[in-house]
Structure 1
Amino acid sequence: MMGLEEPRKENFLLQFCDVMRSFLKYTGMIVTVKTKEELIMAFNLRNRSFLTLSDFNKREMEYMLNLAEDLKKAKYAGTEAKNLEGKNIALIFEKSSTRTRCSFEVGAKDEGAHVTYLGPSGSHIGHKESVKDTARVLGGMFDGIEYRGFSQRNVETLAKYSGVPVWNGLTDEDHPTQVLADFLTAHEVLKKPYEDIKFGFVGDGQDNVSNALMLGAAVMGMEYHVVTPKELNPTKEVLDKANAIAKETGAKIVVSNDVKEDVKGMDVIYADVWVSMGESDDMWEKRINLLKPYQVTMDVMKATENPNVLFEHCLPAFHNLDTEVGKEIYKKFGLKEMEVTDEVFESKHSVVFREAENRMHTIKAVMVATLGEQG
């Protein structure tokens, strides 16, 4: 039998998608594939790794975000399908985690997968066994691998040699799964198209979350401001990569050192911790002195001149003295609050806990898109 000519193939796919969409809507099922283009794109995401947002285009990111919305609705409705039934997933954590670990474990279980957790002392990766060798070992046992650790090179090596999808749960340079949750949360609350949402990151411009936000905003055609001390301006490498993408997508990337002036018009103000745990007291003191003028206060929120501005944070946040670390910081440096005040954190502007929940839905979407039957 002769194959369909190309125009007839496209028409058939469009008609097929229309019929299936109508049928699924009629039966009350969740619809994630809406057009021929999305159908084709969905197949293209199968077996892809998720290492950094600059590896994807706008349509691919929108597909994952739309899928996350659909999977979230399905979870709330109790109509989840087991898109990862029979899959085995390895979770490698060289760093401690609450949201990322729980999101992968709960998300995988919801979709029917089995997970194996390998903590800081649970594997030989990079110590007794090279990352390359570990990749080939785990790739022969598992269908997908998540990595949360220090080196971006490690997650790239895992992806290169494992032969299965690898997902970046965080490195010192990047945090792409976090940004999907950040974008989805803003989109849900503001009811705006992604390209119309303006993000302002206030704090350390070399932070891994800021790097990921910048790249994600560039891909999505968004406006993104980094408001930071000059000493902590984004690295040339990340900024050049973001600007190159922005030229293609129409995104606007702004680096500034003036808080009050350059948060005007923002839809979202974003903050992250100033110093990683384990740093010396000298480093803490240096960073606090540098970043204290960039604390997100209610005055910063008002400076946006946007009454509906949102506050986002990847968490955990040092906004009071309710933690051992918070008490230690107060004892040594006299600060009751750090990157964000308690007033902002607990205000109507704050969507941090919705954002935290959306980590699970977006991570689930990444796994399903790259490993499941919908991918």
Structure 2
Amino acid sequence: MSLADTQVLPGARRAPVHRPGSSPARSKAMQSKPGETSCAGPSEPRSGRARAPTPPGRAVGPGRLGDACEGARMTTSLNELAITGPLLTGLDLDGGRLRELLSLAARLKDGAAGEPAAEPLRGKSIALVLQRPAPRSRAAVETAAAELGAGTTVLSAASLRKPPAATARALSRDFDGIAYAGTDHDALVRLARAATVPVWNLGTDSWRPVQAVADILTMRELDGGDLAGIAFCFTGDARAPIAASLLTTGASLGMDVRIAAPVHMRPPAGVLSRVHDLARRSGARVLITTDARDAVAGAGFVHTAAWVTTDLPFHSLLARVQALVPYRVTGQLLRATGRTDARFMHGLPAVHDAESPVGRRLYRQFGLTGAEVTEAVYGSPQSVVVQQAANRVPAAKALLLSALAPAR
């Protein structure tokens, strides 16, 4: 593999790889290839020797995942401004806080939270600011709020004509929290900095924090072990917002995170720099490579996202298909994990057959059935996309409760 294919972050080392017939806990770390991106904790030598497993319950250091909000109330952030409120005193969400959030989500899902009030957020009102359609995130927040006793009001882009700062001040007077979905992440930043109530990021062109929490909750449920022992791989266009969210959240939690993507579709440099810092603090193992089979080896979860949309011109669609076909999730790629219990993950919607408009176009123009995943994988017992989708509700509940009822 050439230097053009790979990249190394300073002070990092290669994630351990599980091969067929070996035990994941005893797998040796392979020597890093020139230019491969990998990260590890600061106490580890820069060598190819096997990395000792992270002890269960290991403390995770604080990570910088966003900017503090100006004003009396500080912003704690999950992949850029997910929560504003008295969760931490002037600190961003770190790995320890993320673990608490995941534990709360799990308890809420199991119905074992033990709260004295059946509707702890009764009387609270949340504004859903939708600058773009976000049906799955919207449904999750509306359901979570209703089950906790809070009300929601949907506000479209057409109804919000003021600049973000003015909008934030107005909404802060009328609502107890603001949930935002849009294409412009900078607009969310400006809105959150001016708001005096909690702000949640339901998804922008840069981050998908609620989905990332739900996805890692799913991994936690299915693996049954400590997060530090979970290995997962994102394959495809790693510039996707969910790739950035999974990469940074996994690094903050000390997980074993792999990214397989073409060189020109790697995460942005700013994200990689942040991940390097998080991995050094938490002891996370991070690998970024162009080799999909290498990346999935030993992974318990293989994640991807949609490649294409119906409005792409032919030449752009052709270029994306040619670049991304080696990264589509097939039965062969899942077998390359070396694990019979490897699961497939996707935030939906997925192009897995020729039934959707995008699927029909891909089949008609390229003879390709499905895009980022085959129907055989998508419909298999290894697919956990339904569980992922369902977990958005407890993830949203945990976010709402953490900000609006912090004593819980």
**Residue 207 (str. 1) matches residue 240 (str. 2):** yes
- Corresponding residue SS for 1:164: coil
- Aligned 1:89-128 pairs, distance under 5 A: 89-121=126-158, 123-124=159-160, 128=161
Q: Which residue of 225, 230, 247 corresponds with 2:258?
A: 225
Post-superposition Cα deviations, 1:39-68, rounded to whole Å, max 9, x if no partner, equal: xxxxxxx98555516931111101111111
- Corresponding residue SS for 1:140: helix
**Residue 71 (str. 1) matches residue 108 (str. 2):** yes
**Residue 164 (str. 1) matches residue 197 (str. 2):** yes
Instruction: State percent identity of aligned pairs.
Output: 32
Whether the aligned pair in 2 keeps the contact of 1:205 and 1:234 (CA below 8 Å) is yes
Letter in 2 for 1:362: A
**Residue 302 (str. 1) matches residue 335 (str. 2):** yes
Give the corresponding residue for 1:258.
291
- Corresponding residue SS for 1:339: coil
| 1:95 Cα deviation from its structure 2 partner | 1.6
Give the corresponding residue for 1:52.
79
**Residue 346 (str. 1) matches residue 379 (str. 2):** yes
**Residue 242 (str. 1) matches residue 275 (str. 2):** yes
Q: Please give the alpha-carbon distance, in whole angstroms, between the structure 2 residues aligned to 1:368 and 1:78.
A: 11
Root-mean-square deviation (CA, aligned residues, Å) is: 2.3
- Corresponding residue SS for 1:348: coil
Whether the aligned pair in 1 keeps the contact of 2:254 and 2:284 (CA below 8 Å) is yes
| 1:84 Cα deviation from its structure 2 partner | 1.1
Whether the aligned pair in 2 keeps the contact of 1:80 and 1:110 (CA below 8 Å) is no
Whether the aligned pair in 1 keeps the contact of 2:296 and 2:336 (CA below 8 Å) is yes
Moved more, 143-152 or 66-75: 66-75
Q: Please give the alpha-carbon distance, in whole angstroms, between the structure 2 residues aligned to 1:247 and 1:218.
A: 9
Give the corresponding residue for 1:287.
320
Moved more, 273-282 or 57-66: 273-282
Structure 1's unaligned 5+ residue stretches are: 1-36, 38-45
| 1:210 Cα deviation from its structure 2 partner | 0.6
Q: Please give the alpha-carbon distance, in whole angstroms, between the structure 2 residues aligned to 1:149 and 1:373.
A: 27
| 1:101 Cα deviation from its structure 2 partner | 0.7
Q: Compared with structure 1, are the counterparts of its residues 212 and 189 closer, same or farther at alpha carbon in structure 2 (3 Å cutoff)?
A: same
Whether the aligned pair in 1 keeps the contact of 2:176 and 2:198 (CA below 8 Å) is yes
Letter in 1 for 2:355: D
Post-superposition Cα deviations, 1:109-148, rounded to whole Å, max 9, x if no partner, equal: 0000010011343x22xxx321111111111111100111
Structure 2's unaligned 5+ residue stretches are: 1-58, 60-72, 82-91
Moved more, 329-338 or 341-350: 329-338
Q: Compared with structure 1, are the counterparts of its residues 198 and 112 closer, same or farther at alpha carbon in structure 2 (3 Å cutoff)?
A: same
**Residue 319 (str. 1) matches residue 360 (str. 2):** no
**Residue 273 (str. 1) matches residue 300 (str. 2):** no
- Corresponding residue SS for 1:134: helix
| 1:278 Cα deviation from its structure 2 partner | 3.9
- Corresponding residue SS for 2:111: helix
Q: Compared with structure 1, are the counterparts of its residues 173 and 58 closer, same or farther at alpha carbon in structure 2 (3 Å cutoff)?
A: same
TM-score, structure 1 as length reference: 0.82
Q: Please give the alpha-carbon distance, in whole angstroms, between the structure 2 residues aligned to 1:59 and 1:260.
A: 32
Moved more, 179-188 or 49-58: 49-58
Q: Please give the alpha-carbon distance, in whole angstroms, between the structure 2 residues aligned to 1:153 and 1:361.
A: 27
Q: Please give the alpha-carbon distance, in whole angstroms, between the structure 1 residues aligned to 2:106 and 2:204.
A: 26
Q: Compared with structure 1, are the counterparts of its residues 212 and 52 closer, same or farther at alpha carbon in structure 2 (3 Å cutoff)?
A: same
Give the corresponding residue for 1:148.
181
- Corresponding residue SS for 2:288: strand
Letter in 2 for 1:108: A
Q: Please give the alpha-carbon distance, in whole angstroms, between the structure 2 residues aligned to 1:279 and 1:118.
A: 29
Whether the aligned pair in 2 keeps the contact of 1:218 and 1:245 (CA below 8 Å) is yes
Letter in 2 for 1:129: K
| 1:276 Cα deviation from its structure 2 partner | 4.6
Whether the aligned pair in 2 keeps the contact of 1:265 and 1:304 (CA below 8 Å) is yes
- Corresponding residue SS for 2:152: strand
Q: Please give the alpha-carbon distance, in whole angstroms, between the structure 1 residues aligned to 2:113 and 2:351.
A: 31
Post-superposition Cα deviations, 1:282-332, rounded to whole Å, max 9, x if no partner, equal: 322221111011111000000010111111111100001232332233233
Letter in 1 for 2:336: A
Whether the aligned pair in 1 keeps the contact of 2:182 and 2:203 (CA below 8 Å) is yes
Give the corresponding residue for 1:15.
none
- Corresponding residue SS for 1:145: strand
| 1:334 Cα deviation from its structure 2 partner | 2.8
| 1:372 Cα deviation from its structure 2 partner | 2.2
- Corresponding residue SS for 1:154: helix
